[in-house]
Structures are given as structure tokens and as C-alpha cells.
């Protein structure tokens, strides 16, 4: 009997008999079921991903040639401003600390729902209007000052669009904070009895670290944006030099949130692949505590590195050195995770499912982003590559290679649980190959472009960079096309895919111990932990021993050290009276 069977049998009473296939209309209502909210987040975020991706395709098409011949330069500036904003605040953050966190956390900890279900629904329903508001700014000329929106430029370029941008971000930040509060309280207070913090799945640890970041830093962004709005609309001079303000203060306040934001964007997916790799390698996660505590370390360190975005601003030397050191240090817990995942796979029995391919793809691409991250942490080198395509390459390797690959891996892994149906594996592999190749062809040359002298956020560039830019553009078209097999696969499989069953992957965490999709309130009775979340390989390794009547694959009869099968027969209690001799040896 495998560990998975053990866990499933122990939890037989916990899952009902009927999976709950909801009516599609439920997903368009104010529904407090965390599973509905999770799917609402994921689908909404994916729609915005397609919009952000279209903007990216437009950007790359413009950059195929040195001249601004597709759109005018100020429209181009709006394109990359909205591309960044949408991808961060309307795709990755809602998908991770929104979609997956919502769907999975109560299930993984054996709870019936989140701590605050109505607040949860409110947090979601802020997102579509805020997103539509941002898109509506296209009608009046969107913001053009980059997703970082530095003043004084953000105070003079397209003021209407900038005001809408600020409002939209304030709403999205609020949604994020409400979600973070919910996750934090749920994780600390609603775990099933018997599940201490060190028995939690690693995705839960990751969400604990993420929620702390969300709660502590998003309000500072709100502060920065409100002050910026005052400067923009009310003529104050917090950041406006002509009134005595200081643009560098905006940068400090902005990056105090926006650097932790990148950890908010990656930690949930680090947690997800800590779940996915053991399941598809059938081997326990290597170094559970190290991975759990490294999530907390990244979360804490992430709050003291922000000024590495400001090495060339008017910052004094001591500040540059301090933030260089803290940024370098944060490479250590990240490296621990990567090595632990590799060690998990090493020696396992790997199934190359689409989920596993994307998880391995994440490791493969994220490590490149992590290494260039250490490079840009070094102040002298960063002075050369700051605000160039080297940084664009770095950020896409960690955000696309990290978060987006992680989102895809998580979708392929948990789609059966969410929808009750299996995605098509062949098209999943096609999707992976196209994405991996398209991604690397698009972003690898950008490292060289930055080093050679191409700044970022430019609608026109020196003709010497044309060939490399053309390669990037062609890669981006492959990347754009790669979304199609996934979309078709997801939509078709959701409607007509083969039914999944409760535990198609043979996993051990509690979300698999109920029906697919789970019923309302998830479990009929509270689930139990018969095994730890990663206890693969224990119990089904058929070791034959030389003990009478033992059977290696049945735990009751496997003749372990204390098994009755090993007990010597006691002559004092022999069946036939003539065989009895002496005092019983099995009595004190």
C-alpha cells in the first residue's frame, strides 16, 4: 500500500461522494466560496495576461526596427507603462496571492473556507473594475511615465491618464491588502488539529511569507501614490522640485513597496513548485525546514533591499554599499531553495507531465535571472547597466521564467482538482516547448543589448542594435503563439476533458483527499493526517524479511522490529497442555 493510498483511506470519511460541478453562472456572482473566488481570480488574471501580452507584442513589433514607425513615441511610452502595470498588478499578483492562494490554502490546511469569506469576495470584486478603469485610460491617453511613474515626468505627461493610473493602483493595492490579511489569519488560526506549522505544506509557508510582505509594504505604496496624486491634482510639492520637493523621496517610498512586490510575485510560485516537484518525482521534498525558513528569510530581507533600484539616483555611498550587501545576501536563501528542489528530483522517479516540465523550466530560467540579479547587485556594474535592457532581461527571467512558468505549472497540476477534469498532456508538452524556446530567444539577447549600450523605455534606438532586436522580436512572436495551445487546451478540457478523480497524481496533501472539484465546505468531516505532506517512499518499499507469515507490501504483516510476527513462541502457553513447559517468559 503506497503512502497515497494510506492517506486516502484514512480520509475516506472526509470527502463526500459527489464532486460539485458548479453552474458557470456562479462564477459571475458575489460568491463567498473560496474555490469560486480562486477561479474568478485566475480567469480574470489570465484575461489581463492576454491584454498585457498583446501590449508586449506591440512593443516588440515597434522595436523590430530602430525608428518609431509603428506608433508615435508617446503612444509607445503608454504601451510599456500599461504593459508593466497590467502584468504586475492585474496578472501575477492576483494569480498567485489571489487565485492559487485562495483556492488551495483552506484545502491544504483542512479548513472549510477562509477566515473572512465575505472580505475575500470583496477583495476579488475590486479587481475587475480597477482593471477596467486602467484600460479605460486608453480613451483619454494613458499614463506614459513607466510603471514606476517617477516624478517630475509623471506630473507632466498625460495627467488624466496618470490620475486614472494612480486610482487604479490604489484600488488594486487595497484588494491585495485585504487578501493578504485573510491568508495570514487563516493560516495561523484555521489549520486542522494535528497540523502544526512544521506539518504545513510548503505552499502555506510561502503564503505566510507573502502575506506578511503584502500587509507591511503595500500601505507604503498607497502613501506614495496619494502624495503623487496630491502633487498631480492639487498643486502640492512633495516631489516637485519647482516647489521645493524631492523626487528621490518618491523613489524611496515607491521602491519600499515595489521591491517586496517582486517577492510577493515569486514566493507563491516557489511554494507551488515545492508542492509539484515531490509529487511528480515521487520523492519527499529535500530540506523541508530549510525551504520553509528560507521563505521567511526572503520575506524579511526583501524589505531591506529597496534602494538597489536607486544606485544611480542621488544616493550617498553608504546607502549604496548597505543595499548592495543586503541584496547580495538575499541570494543565499534563494539558492537554498533551488538546490533543494534539484536534490528532490535527484534519485526520484520523475514523471515528465506538463506540470513537472514547467516546474523544471522555472528552475532552469529562474536561475539565470537570479545570477544576473547578483550581478546587478554589485554597485559598479549596476552603474553601467541600470535602466538598460540588461535589467529588462533580468526582470523577465525572474518574472516570466519564475512567476509565469510557475503559474503554468500550478495550473497543469491543480486543474484536475479545480475543474474535475484532466488537461491534455500532449498539448501541454507542445505549450511548454514553444514557451521555453520563445522565452529564451526573446530575452537572452537583451542582456547583451543592455551591456552594449541600449537604454530601456526607448521607442527609437541606435541602428547598431537592429539585429539583436530583431531576434528578440521573432522570439516574442513564438511566445505569443505559444499561448494558443494552452488556451484551447484549457477551454476544451474544462468542458469535455476526461474526469479526473480525487487524486490523479497520487499526492499526499489534503486538497487531494476530497472530491474533484471539492464540495461546498470542502470536507464532510475534518480530515486527518495519516502521513506527512511529503512522506513518499515510506511503506511501499517491499523489503522481504525472513519472518514466517510476513508479507512485505502490507503494513500489518510487514514484520517490522516490534511486529508480533517476530515474537518467539512462549512454551508456557503452548496450545497442547503436554507441550507446556516452565514459567511464561512473556510475563513480568
Partner 1 sequence: MKIPSAISAMLIGIALTLISLWYGQNHGLLPIAASNEAAQVDGLFNTMMTISTGLFLIVQGVLIVSIIRFRRSKGDNTDGPPIHGNVPLEILWTAIPAVIVVWISIYSFEVYNEMGGFDPMASQDPLVAEASANAPMRGSAIAATLSEPQPAAHSHHIALGVGASPQNVGRSADVNINVTGLQFAWIFNYAESGITSGELHIPAGKEVQLNISATDVLHALWLPELRLKQDAIPGRPTEIRFTATRLGEYPIRCAELCGAYHGAMNSRLFVQTPEEYQSWIQSQQEVASNPDFDKALAVNPASLSDGEFLTPYAKEMGINADALKQLHSTHHHQ
Number of residues lying near partner 1 (CB under 8 A): 101
* Site membership for partner 1, residue 284 (CB under 8 A): yes
Question: Which 159-178 residues touch partner 1, going by CB under 8 A?
Answer: none
Start-end of H helices in 146-246? 153-156, 159-189, 202-234
Q: Residue from 383, 481, 556, 573 that binds partner 1 (CB under 8 A)? A: 383
Q: How far is the CB of 457 from partner 1 (least distance, A)?
A: 4
Residues 312-331 that bind partner 1 (CB under 8 A): 312-318, 320-321, 324-325, 328-329, 331
Member of 191, 283, 308, 413 binding partner 1 (CB under 8 A) = 283
Which cell numbers in the block locate residue 61?
Answer: 513589433
For partner 1, the binding residues in 263-282 under the rule CB under 8 A are 281-282
Cross-strand pairs, 224 = none
Q: Please report, as residue ranges, which positions from 75 to 114 form the binding site for partner 1 (by CB under 8 A).
A: 76-77
Smaller CB separation from partner 1, 390 or 523: 390
Q: Does 433 interact with partner 1 (rule: CB under 8 A)?
A: no
- Binder to partner 1 among 135, 167, 296, 374 (CB under 8 A)? 374
Q: CA end-to-end span of the chain, whole Å?
A: 36
* Site membership for partner 1, residue 5 (CB under 8 A): no
Q: What is the Cα–Cα distance from 299 to 296, expressed in whole angstroms? A: 5
- Pairwise CA distance, residues 581 & 485, whole Å: 78
Rounded Cα gap, residues 454 and 58, in angstroms: 19
By CB under 8 A, tell whether 470 contacts partner 1.
no
We find the least distance from the C-beta atom of residue 157 to partner 1, in angstroms, to be 6
Interhelix angle 354-377/389-398, rounded to 10 degrees, is 140
- Residue from the set 43, 132, 233, 352 that interacts with partner 1 by CB under 8 A: 352
Binding window for partner 1 (CB under 8 A); candidates: 268-276, 285-293, 421-429, 490-498: 285-293
User: Residue written as cell 536534490?
Assistant: 343
Is the bond preceding residue 545 a cis peptide, omega within 30 degrees? Answer: no
Q: Would you count residue 197 as binding partner 1 (CB under 8 A)?
A: no
Q: Which residue has the cell 494552452?
A: 486
Query: Per DSSP, what are the bridge partners of residue 455?
Result: 388
CA-derived radius of gyration, the chain: 27
Q: Which three cell numbers stand for residue 230?
A: 496630491
Number of alpha carbons in the 13 Å side-chain half-sphere of residue 532 = 17
Interface residue with partner 1, options 119, 153, 478, 572 (CB under 8 A): 153
Q: How far apart are CA 505 and CA 369, in angstroms?
A: 30
Q: Which of 58, 63, 56 is nearest to 471 (CA)?
A: 63
Q: Is 475:436 a contact under the CB 8 Å cutoff?
A: no
**By the rule CB under 8 A, 350 interacts with partner 1:** yes
The stretch near partner 1 (CB under 8 A) out of 20-28, 101-109, 148-156, 512-520 is: 148-156
Kindly tell me which residue out of 215, 457, 528, 557 binds partner 1, with binding defined by CB under 8 A: 457
Complex with partner 1: residue 468 or 490, whichever CB lies closer: 468
Q: 187, 367, 407, 507: which one contacts partner 1 (CB under 8 A)?
A: 367
Compute the Cα dihedral for 8, 11, 12, 14 and give only its sign. negative
Note whether 256 binds partner 1 by CB under 8 A.
Answer: no
Q: What is the C-alpha separation between 485 and 473, in angstroms, rounded? A: 20
Grid-cell match 458548479, residue found: 22
- CB-based contact 500:418 (threshold 8 Å): no
Nearby residues of 233 by Cβ (< 8 Å), 6 or more positions away: 163
Which residues, 531 to 570, sit near partner 1 by CB under 8 A?
534-538, 540-541
Q: Does 58 bind partner 1 (CB under 8 A)?
A: no
Name which position in 372, 435, 469, 473 contacts partner 1 (CB under 8 A): 372
Give the CB-side neighbour count of residue 159, counting CA atoms within 13 A.
11
Residue in this structure with the C-alpha cell 529564451, named with its chain if needed: 440
Is position 580 an interface residue for partner 1 (rule: CB under 8 A)? no
Provide, rounded to whole angstroms, the least separation between the CB of residue 321 and partner 1: 6
Site for partner 1 in 287-316 (CB under 8 A): 287-290, 312-316
Instruction: Say if residues 143 and 165 touch (Cβ distance below 8 Å).
Output: yes
The answer to whether residue 60 forms part of the interface with partner 1 (CB under 8 A) is no
Stretch that binds partner 1, among 333-341, 424-432, 466-474, 495-503 (CB under 8 A): 333-341
Decide whether 425 or 540 has the Cβ nearer to partner 1: 540
Please identify, using beta-carbon distances, which residue of 117 and 539 lies nearer to partner 1: 539
Select the residue interacting with partner 1 from 156, 484, 488, 495 (CB under 8 A). 156
175 vs 170: CA distance, rounded Å:
9
Spatial distance between the Cα atoms of 29 and 561, rounded to a whole number of angstroms: 57
Alpha-carbon distance values, 302 to 1, 35, 100, 264, 266 (Å):
44, 30, 22, 10, 12
- From candidates 219, 455, 471, 483, binder to partner 1 by CB under 8 A: 455
Minimum CB–partner distance for residue 148 and partner 1 (Å): 8
Q: Is 364 in the site for partner 1 (CB under 8 A)?
A: yes
The full DSSP string for 140-162 is: T-B--STTTT-TTHHHHS-HHHH
- Taking the least distance from each CB to partner 1, the nearer of 41 and 263 is 263
Residue (413 or 447) nearer to partner 1, CB = 447
Q: Shortest distance, CB of residue 12 to partner 1, whole angstroms?
A: 21
Of residues 453, 463, 498, 501, which one binds partner 1 by CB under 8 A? 453
**Would you say 329 or 526 has its CB closer to partner 1?**
329
Kindly tell me which residue out of 27, 116, 125, 150 binds partner 1, with binding defined by CB under 8 A: 150
Amino acid at each position: 500500500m503506497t503512502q497515497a493510498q494510506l492517506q486516502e483511506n484514512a480520509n475516506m470519511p472526509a470527502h463526500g461522494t459527489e464532486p460539485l460541478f458548479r453552474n458557470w453562472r456562479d462564477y459571475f456572482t458575489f460568491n463567498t466560496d473560496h474555490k469560486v473566488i480562486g477561479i474568478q481570480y485566475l480567469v480574470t488574471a489570465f484575461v489581463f495576461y492576454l491584454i498585457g501580452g498583446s501590449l508586449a507584442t506591440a512593443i516588440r513589433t515597434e522595436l523590430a526596427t530602430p525608428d518609431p514607425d509603428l506608433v508615435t513615441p508617446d503612444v509607445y511610452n503608454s504601451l510599456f507603462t500599461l504593459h508593466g502595470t497590467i502584468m504586475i498588478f492585474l496578472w501575477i499578483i492576483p494569480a498567485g496571492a489571489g487565485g492559487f492562494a485562495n483556492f488551495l490554502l483552506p484545502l491544504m490546511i483542512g479548513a472549510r473556507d477562509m477566515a473572512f469569506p465575505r472580505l475575500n469576495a470583496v477583495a476579488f470584486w475590486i479587481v475587475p473594475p480597477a482593471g477596467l478603469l486602467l484600460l479605460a485610460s486608453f480613451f483619454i491617453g494613458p499614463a506614459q511615465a513607466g510603471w514606476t511613474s517617477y516624478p517630475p515626468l509623471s506630473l507632466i505627461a498625460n495627467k488624466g491618464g496618470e490620475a486614472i493610473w494612480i486610482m487604479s493602483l490604489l484600488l488594486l493595492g487595497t484588494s491585495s491588502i485585504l487578501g493578504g490579511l485573510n491568508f495570514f489569519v487563516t493560516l495561523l488560526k484555521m489549520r486542522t488539529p494535528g497540523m502544526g506549522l512544521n506539518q504545513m505544506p510548503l505552499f502555506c509557508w510561502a503564503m505566510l511569507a507573502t502575506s506578511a510582505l503584502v500587509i507591511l509594504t503595500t500601505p507604503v505604496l498607497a502613501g506614495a501614490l496619494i502624495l503623487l496624486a496630491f502633487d498631480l491634482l492639487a498643486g502640492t510639492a512633495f516631489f516637485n522640485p519647482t516647489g521645493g520637493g524631492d523626487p528621490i523621496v518618491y523613489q524611496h517610498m515607491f521602491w519600499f513597496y515595489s521591491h517586496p512586490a517582486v517577492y510577493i510575485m515569486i514566493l507563491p510560485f516557489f511554494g507551488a513548485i515545492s508542492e509539484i516537484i515531490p509529487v511528480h518525482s515521487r520523492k519527499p521534498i529535500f530540506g523541508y525546514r530549510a525551504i520553509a525558513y528560507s521563505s521567511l528569510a526572503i520575506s524579511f530581507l526583501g524589505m531591506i533591499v529597496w534602494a538597489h533600484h536607486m544606485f544611480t539616483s542621488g544616493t550617498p555611498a553608504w546607502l549604496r554599499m548597505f543595499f548592495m550587501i543586503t541584496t547580495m545576501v538575499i541570494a543565499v536563501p534563494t539558492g537554498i531553495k533551488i538546490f533543494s528542489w534539484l536534490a528532490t528530483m535527484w534519485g526520484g522517479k520523475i514523471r515528465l507531465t506538463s506540470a513537472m516540465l514547467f516546474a523544471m523550466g522555472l528552475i532552469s530560467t529562474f536561475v539565470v535571472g537570479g545570477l544576473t540579479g547578483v550581478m546587478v547587485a554589485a554597485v559598479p556594474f549596476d552603474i553601467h547597466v541600470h535602466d538598460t535592457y540588461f535589467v529588462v532581461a533580468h526582470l523577465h527571467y525572474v518574472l516570466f521564467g519564475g512567476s509565469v512558468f510557475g503559474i503554468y505549472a500550478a495550473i497543469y497540476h491543480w486543474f484536475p482538482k479545480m475543474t474535475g477534469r484532466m488537461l491534455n498532456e500532449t498539448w501541454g508538452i507542445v505549450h511548454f516547448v514553444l514557451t521555453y524556446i520563445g522565452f529564451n530567444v526573446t530575452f537572452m539577447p537583451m542582456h547583451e543589448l543592455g551591456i552594449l549600450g541600449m537604454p530601456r523605455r526607448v521607442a527609437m534606438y541606435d541602428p547598431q542594435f537592429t539585429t539583436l532586436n530583431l531576434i528578440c522580436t521573432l522570439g516574442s512572436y513564438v511566445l505569443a503563439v505559444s499561448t494558443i495551445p494552452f488556451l484551447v487546451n484549457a477551454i476544451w478540457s474544462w468542458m469535455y476533458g476526461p474526469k479526473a478523480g480525487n487524486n490523479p497524481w497520487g499526492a499526499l496533501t489534503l486538497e487531494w483527499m476530497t472530491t474533484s472539484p471539492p464540495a461546498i465546505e470542502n470536507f464532510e468531516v475534518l480530515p486527518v493526517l495519516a502521513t506527512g505532506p511529503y512522506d513518499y517512499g515510506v511503506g511501499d518499499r517491499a523489503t522481504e524479511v525472513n519472518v514466517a507469515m510476513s508479507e512485505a507490501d502490507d503494513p500489518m504483516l510487514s514484520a517490522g522490529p516490534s511486529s508480533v510476527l517476530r515474537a518467539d513462541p512462549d512454551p508456557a502457553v503452548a496450545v497442547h497442555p503436554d507441550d507446556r513447559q516452565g514459567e511464561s517468559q512473556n510475563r513480568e
